[in-house]
Structure 1
Amino acid sequence: MSYRSTIARQPEALADTYAAAREELAVLDLSSLDRPVIGVTGIGASFAAAVVGAAELQAKGRRAFAIRAVDMVDGRNLCDALVGLSHRGRSVETVAALEKLSSARRLAITNDPQSPLAKAAELHLRLNNGSDATPSSTGYTATLLAMGMAFEKLLGDTSDAFAAIPKLVSEVLATAGSRMERVGKLFPARRAIDCVGAGASLGTADGASLLLREAARIPASAYDTRHYLHGPMESMDGTTGVVLFGAGREVELAQHLDRIGCPALLVTTADVADGELLTVVKVPKADNLIAQGILDILTAQLFAAELSDAAGLTDTKFRYRMSDTKVPVPEAV
């Protein structure tokens, strides 16, 4: 399927994943994960999702951290419970992290219960997002949704923050889609785009920067909001752009970028007006940070698709395929 078509079918993919995860979680005992320090890991977009997930656990008073999978392949005892994220369950580094950290209780979240990552964990939760494209859209948001539902159960939270997500996703896709013509005119031929957010939104910014690199082949990087103010933004000007996620210091920063002549895209729950070079996409506010992460990334997905089309890269294949990033699938006998 095309990138745009998978973005568009996320309401269905998330509804299917919600139903599948709810059924599995009804009988899945997650109590063994309720340990002092919880790690969340993955690589690529899955690490961006891990940052979002760990932030939600922290917000609920738990000692939780996103840990890079490569930091665990030597078997360092960095956490007491470990959640491994990988859409297909074949990322070499994430599989190795779960295999090496045998002292931790381990949950894998993938779309394949027979995948190497699922087999490296004691517990598994299945995604049911259907088809995905590159860059990933349904795989990323479905991972967030299933992880968020698992964390709700782990924390004893009965609010069910994800039941309404499919409907909200439809609304946000429509709202954000109506702004794409404007950003397409303001962001042509950027030499670089920074993505900025704080806390859980740093994970969203990381995911957004990866989408821009993969879909539009524009150099893009992610920064924590406050860190960004301490030097990294110095190189931004009229030839670059910035995407911001948040309703705090991000608002003032976006308005400052507008004043200095740097196009900016602000995804926020606040009431903020467009500027001359500032485009604002207002999204619904979710109390759950993982649910918010799903709603926030949608604008970045459409933005990456818009810039991909403008660069003549619509649904182009990746140029660089490494031979050692995925666990090989055994050949059928």
Structure 2
Amino acid sequence: MFTKIPYAEAMSTQAASLAVAYSSLQQDLERCTLAPWQAGETIGVVAMGASSHSGHALVSVLAAAGVRAVNLVASDLQLAAPGFQPADHYLIVSESGRSPEPIAAGRGLMVGRRIGISNDPTAPLAEVVDVSLSLGGFDDSGVYTSGYTATLLAYALLLDRVGVVPAGPQVAAIPDIVTTALETYEEVAARVARIVAGASSIDVIGRGTSFASAAEVALMFREGLRIPSAAFETYQYLHGPMEPINDSTVLLVYGDGRELTVPDAALASGAHVVLVTTAPERDVPSAGHPRLTIVRLAPDLEGFVRPIVEVVIAQLVMAHAIESKDFTLDDFLYAQSDTKLVDSPVAD
């Protein structure tokens, strides 16, 4: 069982944790027997919280490959009819391996088709899956850092293993890519942090794999900085949710398409906007506006690598923004007694 460490330590040692995860996952995937994924079958992600947000990236990558997939909130499955099977294969994801909702869902899902992804293969999740993939047992912070990015790494290696989406050379280089990102984006993250720390609310938007980043970053800011934050798919945001933004709002935008023009209206409202994009400034109509910060991504980031880098940038922002608060990223106001199992669950 891994232990919780300070946020700053977990973030700064993330490359080493990802290297551990890469090695552990490769070993597990080499020795496990997986039910083949057939054409026309549906893949279901079953998770809660940050793990559930990671599922948006998996669904997006699979959709681009022509594979049907659904991101299922584990607690919703408790409301389903007995025997209900919304997918043909399941990825049951919990970094701790102790979230009760995915464990309860796993008991009712198809035997032989359940793959568990966890940072602790000895945790109770292992009892309700057929194949366990371990992230390696590295220590992590309360606001997950390596646990989230390592889950995206696990998806990349799994899809390669089942022959659906080749991993590509960038996947093996993820630890080095994260090291570079932590160095490259330090200065701009500090500037963005000063804006974020003073916000009354934060909206985060993105599409495709970047919607996963939007969802995770909104959770991080809400959980770690205690600032009301919400995530939306880019086009959904345009259908009403952007109406409340004002001069105390920060809008964080991930993307290269319609996302390039979303800042225009937000800036007119007085909001501060941060655009994380691969697009050159010449393609951003509002480039040069004093309340717009553009964070450039490398244009060649593939698959799950881009959302990993996007989240690492937000982690840096958090690390700087907390400096203006009178609490730490390791303090939580509200402890829930039923979001993690302490002992092995009793079989139904």
TM-score, L = length of structure 2: 0.89
- Check whether the contact 1:192–1:240 (CA below 8 A) recurs between aligned residues: yes
Q: Pick one of 87, 90, 97 that aligns with 1:82.
A: 90
- CA distance in 2 between partners of 1:202 and 1:171 (Å): 23
Give 1:308's aligned residue.
322
User: Which residue among 258, 261, 270 is the counterpart of 2:279?
Assistant: 270
Name which of 295, 317, 326 aligns with 2:309.
Answer: 295
Q: Percent identity?
A: 32
Structure 2 letter corresponding to 1:39: G
What does 1:25-104 align with in structure 2 at a 5 Å threshold? 25-34=29-38, 36-73=41-78, 74=80, 75=82, 76-102=84-110
2:10 to 3, 6, 16: 6
> What is the rounded CA distance, in whole Å, between the counterparts of 1:232 and 1:158 in structure 2?
36
Is 1:222 the counterpart of 2:236? The answer is no
- Cα shift at 1:330: 5.4
Where does structure 1 differ by over 4 angstroms across 4 or more consecutive aligned residues? Answer: none
Per the TM alignment, residue 178 of structure 1 is displaced from its structure 2 partner at its CA by 1.1
Do the aligned residues in 2 keep the contact of 1:95 with 1:120 (CA within 8 Å)? yes
The alignment covers a number of residue pairs equal to 331
Tell me if structure 1 keeps the 8 A contact 2:45–2:71. yes
Q: Which runs of 5+ in 2 are unaligned?
A: 282-286
CA deviation vs aligned residue, 1:117-172 (integer Å, no higher than 9, x gap): 12211011110261111211011111111122111211352534411111111121
Task: Let me know the Cα RMSD of the aligned residues.
Answer: 2.0
1:192 alignment partner, one of 189, 198, 201: 201
Q: Distance in 2 between matches of 1:185 and 1:139?
A: 26
Q: CA deviation at 1:58?
A: 1.2
The whole-number CA distance in structure 1 between the counterparts of 2:212 and 2:222 is: 16
CA displacement 1:213-246 (0-9 Å, x = unmatched): 1110000011010010111111101111111111
Where do residues 123-134 of structure 1 align in structure 2 (5 Å cutoff)?
Answer: 123-128=131-136, 130-134=138-142
CA–CA distance in structure 1, aligned partners of residues 184 and 137 of structure 2? 23
The amino acid that maps onto 1:241 is: V
In the alignment, the residues of structure 2 paired with residue 110 and residue 316 of structure 1 have an alpha-carbon distance, to the nearest angstrom, of 22
TM-score by length of 1: 0.93
Query: Distance in 1 between the 2:309 and 2:167 partners?
Result: 21
Amino acid at match of 1:15: A
Match of 1:155 in 2: 163
